[in-house]
Structure 1
Amino acid sequence: MSASLSRVEPGDLEKLKRHAYRIRRNALLMGEVQGQGYVGQALGVADVLAVAYFRHLKFRADDPEWEGRDRFLLSIGHYAIALYAALIEAGIVSEDEIENYGSDNSILPMSGMAAYTPGMEITGGSLGHGLGIGVGMALGLKRKSSDSFIYNLLSDGELNEGSTWEAAASASHWKLNNLIAIVDVNDQQADDKSSTVLAYEPIADKWTAFGWETWRVNGNDLEELVQAFDAAVSSESDKPRVIICDTLMGRGVPLLEARDKTHFIRVDENEWSLALAQLDDVYGIK
């Protein structure tokens, strides 16, 4: 299903663009602290996080456990640097924590753990569990007559996991229209390209066959993302929803966009400042 052609105001897109810029910048600054991190994924998914957090998610920055919040589940725990960058931009985590990223006793460990970080709903890492947890949460919210949504960010590599598809089938069975899955398709995982390890196409048809409302968009195009998120949230269907986002690792930093893509992009010590400068140039920041 293509994204609904809802009207997107230019001013709204400009605000989201600024949020996406700052999410990318936060991720680069954290990566520079440790000299490493999954910054390629963070740069790639920044636009998705900007639209999710600053157009649709209900949250209270000063009360991350507010009962009426929407829940954002990070199934892919190694993307934690991306979610931290968004939580900092949202004011849930202090910007001062950037300099502590990945350090002993930091609230921002290199792999996401719910017990450490405000706004981190689940501990992700061993892939394939996030959507199942999301199904349980969505069912629980339904039984509490809550109008909150569960968002679950998962990766194309997680489509290798049978548990993901078991969760997808159960979500459809229980008519969990308060569950929105977001699949980051960057065609990279630890051993090789995701499509080489286990072919996932036709990805949209598979989700549709499992009984989900399905949108596929350019995950680095804010207008397409807004239209898909708007359609998913406003749909009156009783089906769960999935937004499949094709993204480019390293997006927004030309030197990393052009680098041979692997699961973990190497950034040399002298390249962090260059990456930040290139990001500013791309966004027209002086």
Structure 2
Amino acid sequence: MQPNDLERIARQIRRRDLQAVVEAGAGHIGGEMSAIDILTALYFHVLRIWPEEPRHPDRDRFVLSKGHTACALYVTLAKRGFLPEEEISTFLQPHSRLNGHPNCNKVPGVETNTGPLGHGLPVSVGMAKAARILGAAYHTYVMTGDGEMQEGSNWEAISSAAQFGLNNLTLIIDHNRFQQGASLSDTNNLAPFRSKLEAFGWEVTEINGNEMSEIVPALQHRADRPHGIIAHTNKGHGISFMQDRVEWHHKVPNAEQYQIALAELSESL
């Protein structure tokens, strides 16, 4: 797909994500909006996947370590054909398999359960190491939040990935500069990330994580060592009153805000 096609799909995913959060009365919309361009590029251009065979052994793996943004993943999976699009209406409803954090035992296309931060990257290192042991050709991608990088388990995993020479592993840091309750600069700010990853022996690319022309080549890049992508994004991207506002980590739009957001996300569809 061309970048403009991917951008159109990303807008459609944003609209459906917005609708799902409003209908459910809960969600983590700010971090979902920052990540959707990357999710779109992965599932509609980069990943080698078969929606009709979600456990195909040759599939590429993607782990959403920032699991609280599950709704964006569900909408993306549905649009890609892993589950019925109408099922998105059950998000957070009683007995729904579309819970607030992804569950690999219930949702096709989810590789591992995530929610407690700092777990997705260590699991992904295991997946990439397993591919090496088995002689498998699949590539493993994992997305963390930038606040999540405060978890020490991530840095142990980064060290291990370099030690094992896992050039079949790509880490994407959704660097939207905000976490729950505060900006990174007001908490435990580990940015800039580039020098730290490089110090562990990783190859690093920095991109605008809301720009398809930069996202796609970064995701497709292959190196002789683990690859880290620092994706500079905007919390609440695409919705003017949400962008770069800490309260939209998990705030839900009211009726008036919902209509404004829908109108903004309808532009250029």
Task: Give me the TM-score of the superposition, normalised by structure 2.
Answer: 0.95
Does 2:105 align with 1:119? Answer: no
Does 2:241 align with 1:251? Answer: no
Deviations 1:20-70 (A, max 9, x none): 112212211211221221111111111111111112101111111111101
Contact 1:192 1:262 in 2 (8 A): no
Mapped to 1, the partners of 2:113 and 2:205 lie a distance apart of 27
Contact 1:22 1:89 in 2 (8 A): no
Distance 1:68 1:258, change over 3 A: closer
Mapped to 2, the partners of 1:33 and 1:242 lie a distance apart of 36
> Which amino acid in 2 is paired with 1:278?
E
> Which amino acid in 2 is paired with 1:127?
L
1:143-158 equivalences in 2 (<5 Å): 143-158=133-148
> Which of the numbers 185, 193, 206 marks the counterpart of 1:203?
193
Contact 1:41 1:82 in 2 (8 A): no
5+ residue gaps, structure 2: none
Q: Which residue of 2 aligns with 1:89?
A: 79
> Which of the numbers 21, 37, 59 marks the counterpart of 2:27?
37
Mapped to 1, the partners of 2:180 and 2:245 lie a distance apart of 16
Contact 1:40 1:264 in 2 (8 A): yes
Deviations 1:174-226 (A, max 9, x none): 01111111100111112421232112122111111111110011111111112
Q: Which residue of 2 aligns with 1:107?
A: 97
Q: Counterpart of 1:255 in 2: which secondary structure?
A: coil
Q: Counterpart of 2:101 in 1: which secondary structure?
A: coil
> Which of the numbers 252, 271, 277 marks the counterpart of 2:257?
271
Does 2:225 align with 1:239? Answer: yes
Does 2:177 align with 1:174? Answer: no
Task: Give me the TM-score of the superposition, normalised by structure 1.
Answer: 0.89
Distance 1:199 1:63, change over 3 A: same
> Which of the numbers 68, 75, 83 marks the counterpart of 1:78?
68
The structure 1 segments of at least 4 consecutive aligned residues displaced by more than 6 Å after TM superposition are none
Does 2:204 align with 1:221? Answer: no
**C-alpha RMSD of the superposition:** 1.6
Mapped to 2, the partners of 1:140 and 1:227 lie a distance apart of 25
Contact 2:181 2:247 in 1 (8 A): no
Contact 2:29 2:248 in 1 (8 A): no
Contact 1:249 1:261 in 2 (8 A): no
Distance 1:270 1:217, change over 3 A: same
Distance 1:39 1:138, change over 3 A: same
Mapped to 2, the partners of 1:195 and 1:115 lie a distance apart of 37
Contact 2:237 2:243 in 1 (8 A): yes
Distance 1:191 1:29, change over 3 A: closer
Mapped to 1, the partners of 2:98 and 2:60 lie a distance apart of 21
Query: Identity rate of aligned residues, in percent?
Result: 35
Segment of structure 1 superposing worse, 157-166 or 250-259: 250-259
> Which of the numbers 7, 10, 14 marks the counterpart of 1:20?
10
Q: Counterpart of 1:254 in 2: which secondary structure?
A: coil
Please report how far the alpha carbon of residue 266 of structure 1 lies from its aligned counterpart in structure 2 after TM superposition: 3.5
